[in-house]
Amino acid sequence: MSVLIYAENAGGKFKKSIFEAISYARAIADQNNTSLTAVSIGNVDAAELALLGKYGADKVLNVSGDKLKDFVNQAYASIIAEAAKKEGSAVVVLSNTFSGRGLAPRVGVKLEAGVADGVVALPVQEGGSFKVKKTAFSGKAFAIVELTSAIKVIALVPNSYKVVETGGTAQVEDFSVESKASDFKAMIKEIVRSSDKVSLPDAEIVVSGGRGLKGPENWGMIEELASLLGAATACSKPVSDAGWRPHSEHVGQTGIAVSPNLYIAVGISGAIQHLAGVSSSKVIVVINKDPEAPFFKVADYGIVGDAFEVLPKLIAAVKEYKASA
């Protein structure tokens, strides 16, 4: 057996969540005394591919070509499954990104593999059993899932495993798979990237605003604090429902689930559906004028006060801290 990691790139670059997934896959390979192969699809240059070795891959299967330059769900799933077959992989690891969540189930069916997504810890393997811990009930609990198939597919949640540099080097091998025309039915017309912003699912810090901010015109404060901290911005559901912010920023049970190192909630009450998607954040800071707001019950740090007075002061304090650092 071996372990296979799908190293997803964004515009030819690997992101931190991929280095986390490689580190994680490396640890599984070590648990099983086996090797780790990374498969990279799209046009990624040699220097970037070399990074995969630095984080623990022994070998890299490099699949390139113009047709595969951008993500094509079906074709990519075929390649990953073929790579797993070629390497005799018993475990296939993906990152629980938007693309990873589309690929994992297709790869699972192709390999007749049990699939666990939303995984947050290393598998526990004893006496032939293979158990993973995954988020359930939108972060209100975890489920321990035993995968009983010969091959297992797991998707790791960003920010749930530490990046470990092994300083190794990987041998890069070109790889290709005869692709079916039917794998290319879905066509990308356009990719719109808001490149100046930190993306929400893999952000280490998130600054989030709720209805307490009163209107879209007051989001400048949220954005300024976020940009000072290198953070992504987010919001509660009523805020995106009202059109103050795009739906892609809405976090919670019916929005995006996030698990950053730091979540700063401003003017958000902390309704159970909101907490469901943010409570696995490592540190939570709440700013709310109502001392009874439920959010204070799950917060690590809190300020009871008016956002319109506290935020400008907090922005000033962060500026001062950064100037002195």
Ligand X SMILES: Cc1cc2nc3c(=O)[nH]c(=O)nc-3n(C[C@H](O)[C@H](O)[C@H](O)COP(=O)(O)OP(=O)(O)OC[C@H]3O[C@@H](n4cnc5c(N)ncnc54)[C@H](O)[C@@H]3O)c2cc1C
Binding residue positions: 211, 267-274, 288
- What is the token pair recorded at 118? 């939303």
Footprint (CB under 6 A) of ligand X, residues 250-289: 250, 252-255, 267-269, 271, 273-274, 277, 288-289
Selected binder of ligand X within 206, 293, 303, 314 (CB under 6 A)? 293
CB–CB of 267/210 below 8 Å?
yes
How far, in Å, CA of 307 to CA of 285, rounded? 13
| Residue 207: CB minimum distance to ligand X, A | 14
How far, in Å, CA of 181 to CA of 162, rounded? 39
| Residue 43: CB minimum distance to another protein, A | 17
Q: Under the criterion CB under 8 A, does residue 117 sit at the interface with another protein?
A: yes
Comparing CB distances to ligand X, the nearer of 49 and 278 is 278
Comparing CB distances to ligand X, the nearer of 145 and 299 is 299
Query: Under rule CB under 8 A, how many of the chain's residues touch another protein?
Result: 105
- What is the token pair recorded at 16? 């931190």
How far, in Å, CA of 146 to CA of 195, rounded? 39
Footprint (CB under 6 A) of ligand X, residues 190-229: 210-212
| Residue 201: CB minimum distance to ligand X, A | 14
Phi first, then psi, for residue 207 (nearest 5°) are -110, 120
CB–CB of 103/71 below 8 Å?
no
Q: Under the criterion CB under 8 A, does residue 122 sit at the interface with another protein?
A: no
Q: Under the criterion CB under 8 A, does residue 168 sit at the interface with another protein?
A: no
Neighbours of 263 (CB within 10 A): 27
Question: Which residues participate in the annotated binding site for FAD?
Answer: 211, 267-274, 288
Q: Which amino acid is located at 137 in the chain?
A: F
Selected binder of another protein within 197, 211, 224, 227 (CB under 8 A)? 197
Q: Which amino acid is located at 92 in the chain?
A: V
